[in-house]
Amino acid sequence: MNVIRGFATTFKHLLEEPVTYQYPEQIRPFAERYKGRHELKRYDNGLEKCIGCSLCAAACPADAIWVEAAENTDEARYSPGERYAKTYEINMLRCIFCGYCEDACPTEAIVLGHEHRLSFTNRKDAIFTKDMLIDPVPEGGQATPQKVEPGVFTRAIPDMEDPK
Amino acid sequence: MTNTVRIIINDQTYDVPAGMNLVDAAKWYANDDIPVFCYHPKMEPVGMCRMCLVEMGTIEKDRATGQVVLDENGQSKVRWMPKLQTACTTTVSDGLVIRTQTQQVQDARQNVVEFLLTSHPLDCPICDKGGECPLQNLTMEHGPGVSRMAFSDKMRLDKHVPLGDLIFLDEERCIQCARCVRFQDEVVGDDVLAFHERGRSLQIITNSEPGFDTYFSGNTTDICPVGALTTADFRFGARPWELTEVPSICPHCPVGCNISLSTRLDRDFGGKTLIKRVMPRQNEQVNEIWICDKGRFGHHFSRSEDRLEDPLVRERSGRLFAKSWTDALAAAAEALKAAGSDVAAIAGSGMSNEDLWALRQLLAGLGSRRLGAWPPTHAGAEVVAQVGVGQGTNLGQLGRGDAVLVIASDLEEEAPIWRLRLKQAADRGAFLLVMNARPTRMDDFAAQTIHYETGEAVQALLALKDSDAWKQLAEAHNLVIVAGAEGLSLDGSRALAGAAANILLETEHVGKPNSGLLAVLPGANAMGLHYLGFTPAATLDIMQNPPKVLIVTQADLLLDDPTAAHWLAKVETIISLDLFASGLTQQLAAVALPIQSFAERDGSYVNGERRVQRFYTAQGPMGQALPAWQALSRLGEQLGQGTAKLSAAAVMVEIAQNVPAFAGVSFKELAKVERQYPDVGGKDLYYGGTAYRNRGGLGIQIPTAADQGQTVARFEAAADEPPKTRGKLVIVPSVRLYNRERTFRPSALVHARVPEAYAEINSADAKKLGIQDGDTVEIAIQNAPALRVRAHVNGGAPKGTVIVPRHLSDTAAPLAVTVGEVSKAEG
Ligand code: SF4
Ligand code: SF4
Ligand code: SF4
Ligand code: SF4
Ligand code: FES
């Protein structure tokens, strides 16, 4: 009797959809809150959200982030504020994907995305630079640095809307 | 001692000196930090911000009997004032009672902070002050946490106002405490900032042209209690908490200001440690909590493009080739061996004591004692060693009843912080007498000014006895004479130092603190040169009788002296140890060895007040450069002079054993610190500003002969013969603080402030020569290429004299007083 029940179960499952994902051909959808590789965000006009404040680096428990800042000018503008990140690096070997950097960021510039394929063969490659982290320029936006009209960006930090 | 009074702070009784400010007394004696914004311990209180409100009262006394009235519990009765009072405008008095922690006080503080924040932007994430900001800290400690202010009603003001080339103002951040305005007015005496408008539209403006025209502007960024004032140099360089603080000594002038180098790793500097900013480090006897803008912004040379990075050897073809240290040292050793004892050395005043000792040992090993000090412009160090200002001198203590005589020096340009401190001494009531052949900035602060004929400083000093000023000097409680060498030959400056010393001896102003001689010697370690046996007289001898091999260390002979090429032509081999690749190294050196600047290694300097002070390794090294002591000691090893020393500290041990002046000095002793008043640089940045607390050492002042109780004989002080002009003009070199020296030129942000090369010509002479203000003129002296400069005919020069500031162009200006011809240049 037990033998029959066993075979029945086996046959039943033979007819069911498999639960195995054929990674990498098949990728499982991520939970919205999954914390993968960081992305540095841009505004719609292409300017970078990051203002180079280093608060993410200060919040990071693993000391994984390195920021060096510089000043924007209207000739070469990277961010809408006075300051931008000249160097922005995250050492992915140190990062524990806790998301504290995201919490600390006053401009919502750094967001942990869904990218999880983070293998490297060499320790140096584990250091992700700004070019690797920053989002592509959105459609209709311009790459940075931008040349802008004087008098448009006069705030030290762009006014932030209430976070939605 | 001063009288003390008894005050009560939060029910505890304290005895504090009478006349002390209440905020200071509470902090120093009761460890009670009364929050302040506008009050600063180095300035007069103004009571503008109301942050320091406390409950205040006095112990009640019976009018008739003078007895303290007791309440029913037998406690003395306090008559409380009906409202809170500002602590900063209160001077302690007997029976003063305050409470600083009650609810009423806390509410008041909370209200003041809330009120200040109504017009303050939320810039903290990018503000240079964020992380070391008094407003941030006091908001965290006393602020309300929420604001009743509607965000949309916030002030919108200009956020990027350059006040001159060095300082930026953010109008929104300013809380109108007037610390910056008062600093410029009270402490510096350059009244270039002001309040503009009234009420909520009140703003800081600069009223000078060019803007913020002063040598001390950077200090306002330290004492500004918010990030309203930021320096162009540091702007966004790093967040304060990311910086490592390294104690150091300013390498630019004889004051020897204690500084902190704030360092951080930097991608653009190859991932090495880099100086991000220079900050003052408290040393009340040297620079208090101030530094000048040259010290603050003049660090870029330490990593300039022109730095010599590899050892170079000149091949037969005449070209320099990079070599390994071993090969370069071998080449140098070979040249030295061939020369036997026909060797001499010239050392610049930026060399540390350890470097100088190693150089002296190297030459001793070769049998030579020809040790020249560079530049050979000022004698008098030997006089300072005997009757210099006494041990424990603090210029900040000079005041009523004291006298200061400044002669033959443009102190503002040569030693800015001495000028600042002596200006304040004059404000406190010291009699300040300024003597020079021409008007200088110091005249503005002087009680009396005497102008003598060019070159006749000694005569003028000797003639003082018959003047009205003499009584003031002779009877002064303390007397400091500050002697420079402007307009004098080397002999003349020696005679001047001697004549000044004689006055001090005669009036018994030697061998005690706050009295004695200060010589305005050039460079950071001119006294070190003296104590280690390097003299300007030896340099003159080297110029006249050139040796076969000349070792030149950190001295820019070609750029300093227009006749250098002429006399150096007779030297067979030049071995140059230099920071820079241009100049002497490139043109004449047979072997060039790269050495490290003050920023890259440990060492010590002796400042003009004979204080041995230690600096520490801050910045990553440039190329293969080594500390000079190490390069020299390895060269000695090659020559069989024993094994090379391993550390600067070990060299100092040897100096202490061999040079009596350094007895008892060691790196450990130099690093000792003690609590200094006022207590700045702690957590409470609102009190003193962001100047650093001294953690690197206060240094050790070398005693003078007079301090040690030796009788000092009177000095030879024969007046110098005035130069024979034979119809020519006397050319007097002068010093400008901002110039084009290789140690300052790389600081590009100051370029706009470096004057175009000029010469001051008297209007009578100019008229004779057909020269007008603004003309280009050529100055010709013997054995030197002509110097082209702009003529200034505006009352700066006495008749028959042309004042030529050194280091303003790439052609060397005369090094010493000389005679020459001035002619109008074509085109
Ligand atoms: S996720 Fe956490 S560990 Fe990783 S960089 Fe951000 S703060 Fe650091
Ligand atoms: S990512 Fe955000 S927190 Fe980090 S430096 Fe940029 S703005 Fe600041
Ligand atoms: S700029 Fe700074 S120091 Fe000057 S008044 Fe404003 S807050 Fe005070
Ligand atoms: S006064 Fe002299 S020692 Fe002090 S910071 Fe200025 S240049 Fe340096
Ligand atoms: S009113 Fe006392 S500190 Fe400002």
B143 vs B475: CA distance, rounded Å: 54
Are B549 and B448 found together in one domain? no
Residue B450 lies in a domain: yes
Are B152 and B44 found together in one domain? no
Give A-chain residues touching B168 at CB under 8 angstroms: none
| DSSP, res B724 | P
Residue B471 lies in a domain: yes
| Average predicted confidence (pLDDT) for chain A | 92
Torsion of CA B674, B678, B682, B688, to 10 degrees: -150
Are B317 and B348 found together in one domain? yes
Query: Of B499, B446, B503, nearest to B471 (Cα)?
Result: B503
Query: Of B255, B804, B159, B104, nearest to B487 (Cα)?
Result: B804
What's the pLDDT tens digit per position in B135-168?
A: 999 999 999 988 888 777 777 899 999 999 999 9
Are B387 and B372 found together in one domain? no
Could you tell which of B21, B22, B38 is best to mutate to test the pocket of ligand 5, judged by most ligand atoms within 8 Å of the CB? B38
User: What are the backbone angles phi and psi of residue B463, rounded to the nearest 5°?
Assistant: -75, -10
Give A-chain residues touching B268 at CB under 8 angstroms: 68
Q: Does A55 touch chain B (CB under 8 A)?
A: yes
Here the ipTM equals 0.90
Confidence of residue A161 (pLDDT cuts 50, 70, 90): low
Residue B408 lies in a domain: yes
Residue B489 domain boundaries: 381-519
Whether residue B159 and residue A55 make contact (CB cut-off 8 A), yes or no, is no
Close Cβ partners of B749 (under 8 Å, ≥ 6 residues apart): B165, B166, B232, B233, B297
Delineate the domains of chain A, giving CATH numbers in brackets.
31-133 (3.30.70.3270)
Which CATH number goes with the domain that contains B424?
Answer: 3.40.228.10
The three-state secondary structure class of B621 is coil
Tell how strand B403-407 and strand B479-483 pair up. Answer: parallel
Q: Which alpha helices (H) appear in B681-811, and where do they start and end?
A: 685-688, 763-769
Confidence of residue B65 (pLDDT cuts 50, 70, 90): confident
B559 vs B815: CA distance, rounded Å: 10
Mean pLDDT, residues B91-101: 96
Whether residue A154 and residue B238 make contact (CB cut-off 8 A), yes or no, is no
**Looking at the predicted structure, is the pLDDT value of residue B771 above 80?**
yes
Are B361 and B441 found together in one domain? no
Strand partners of residue B747: none
Phi-psi region of B47 (alpha: psi -120 to 50; beta: other; left: phi over 0): left
This prediction has a pTM of 0.95
Mean pLDDT is lowest, of B2-6, B103-107, B411-415, B776-780, for B2-6
d(CA A95, ligand 2 centre) in Å: 16
What's the pLDDT tens digit per position in B719-760?
A: 767 677 788 999 999 999 999 999 999 999 999 999 999 999
Close Cβ partners of B220 (under 8 Å, ≥ 6 residues apart): B167, B179, B180, B183, B184, B193, B229
Residue B678 lies in a domain: no
Residue appearing with tokens 């990140």: A85
Residue B360 lies in a domain: yes
Give the number of residues written for chain B. Answer: 827
In Å, how far from its chain's centre is CA B539?
A: 26
Mean pLDDT, residues B426-444: 97
- pLDDT value at residue B72: 84
Close Cβ partners of A101 (under 8 Å, ≥ 6 residues apart): A38, A56, A57, A59, A60, A65, A110, A112
B109 vs B38: CA distance, rounded Å: 14
Among all residues of chain B, which has the CA nearest to that of A54? Answer: B239
Q: Which of A56, A67, A71 to mutate to test the interface with B (most CBs of B within 10 A)?
A: A71
Nearest CA to ligand 3 atom 4: B180
Indicate the residue among B73, B89, B112 that finishes a domain.
B112
B184 vs B441: CA distance, rounded Å: 15
Handedness of CA B246, B247, B253, B257 (dihedral sign): positive
B585 vs B742: CA distance, rounded Å: 13
What's the pLDDT tens digit per position in A44-80?
A: 999 999 999 999 999 999 999 999 999 999 999 999 9
Are B473 and B503 in contact, with CB atoms under 8 Å apart? yes
Within 13 Å of residue A124, how many CA atoms lie on the same side as its CB? 0
Cα separations in angstroms, B678 against A134, B22, B250, B691: 48, 13, 22, 12
What's the pLDDT tens digit per position in B529-558?
A: 999 999 999 999 999 999 999 999 999 899
Which CATH number goes with the domain that contains B108?
Answer: 3.10.20.740
What's the pLDDT tens digit per position in B704-730?
A: 999 999 999 999 888 767 677 788 999
Mean pLDDT, residues A110-134: 94
What's the pLDDT tens digit per position in B301-357?
A: 999 999 999 999 999 999 999 999 999 999 999 999 999 999 999 999 999 999 999
Which CATH number goes with the domain that contains B165?
Answer: 3.30.70.20
Which CATH number goes with the domain that contains B807?
Answer: 2.40.40.20
d(CA B119, ligand 5 centre) in Å: 18
Residue appearing with tokens 């003309």: B775
Residue B245 lies in a domain: no
Give B-chain residues touching A82 at CB under 8 angstroms: 126, 159-160, 236
- pLDDT value at residue B148: 84
Burial of B649 (0-12, 13-18, 19+ CB in 10 A): middle
Whether residue B170 and residue A81 make contact (CB cut-off 8 A), yes or no, is no
Are B548 and B660 found together in one domain? yes
Q: Does A87 touch chain B (CB under 8 A)?
A: yes
Q: Is the peptide bond before B375 cis (omega within 30 degrees of 0)?
A: yes
B184 vs B219: CA distance, rounded Å: 9
Within 13 Å of residue B256, how many CA atoms lie on the same side as its CB? 31
Q: Does B155 touch chain A (CB under 8 A)?
A: no
B379 vs B488: CA distance, rounded Å: 10
B558 vs A58: CA distance, rounded Å: 49
What's the pLDDT tens digit per position in A10-48?
A: 999 888 888 888 888 988 888 999 999 999 999 999 999
Q: Which atom of ligand 5 is nearest to the CA of B46?
A: 1
Are B385 and B373 found together in one domain? no
Q: Which two tokens stand for residue B619?
A: 């910045």
Determine whether the shortest distance from the Cβ of B180 to ligand 3 is under 6 A: yes
In Å, how far from its chain's centre is CA B154?
A: 41
- In chain B, the number of structural domains is 5
B744 vs B751: CA distance, rounded Å: 9
Strand partners of residue A77: A146
Residue B772 lies in a domain: yes
Indicate the residue among B480, B497, B519 that finishes a domain.
B519
- pLDDT value at residue A19: 84
Are B214 and B162 found together in one domain? yes
Q: Is the peptide bond before B513 cis (omega within 30 degrees of 0)?
A: no
Phi-psi region of B270 (alpha: psi -120 to 50; beta: other; left: phi over 0): left
Are B636 and B754 found together in one domain? no
B734 vs B755: CA distance, rounded Å: 13
**Looking at the predicted structure, is the pLDDT value of residue A163 above 50?**
no
Q: Which of A68, A87, A156 sits opposite B126 (nearest CB)?
A: A156
B499 vs B497: CA distance, rounded Å: 6
B294 vs B746: CA distance, rounded Å: 12
B319 vs B314: CA distance, rounded Å: 5
A121 vs A129: CA distance, rounded Å: 17
Cα separations in angstroms, B780 against B18, B473, B819: 62, 41, 9
Indicate the residue among B187, B208, B231 that finishes a domain.
B231
- pLDDT value at residue B152: 77
- pLDDT value at residue B637: 96
**Looking at the predicted structure, is the pLDDT value of residue A164 above 70?**
no
Are B122 and A48 in contact, with CB atoms under 8 Å apart? no
Residue B276 lies in a domain: no
Are B697 and B286 in contact, with CB atoms under 8 Å apart? no
Are B661 and B531 found together in one domain? yes
Q: Does A59 touch chain B (CB under 8 A)?
A: no
Are B536 and B599 found together in one domain? yes
- pLDDT value at residue B2: 65
Close Cβ partners of B345 (under 8 Å, ≥ 6 residues apart): B359, B362, B363, B368, B370, B371, B372, B534, B550, B551, B552, B553
Within 13 Å of residue B358, how many CA atoms lie on the same side as its CB? 31
Q: Give residue B273's identity as a one-letter amino acid code.
A: T
Are B362 and B388 found together in one domain? no
H/E run at residue B8: strand B4-9
Are B797 and B761 in contact, with CB atoms under 8 Å apart? yes
Strand partners of residue A146: A77
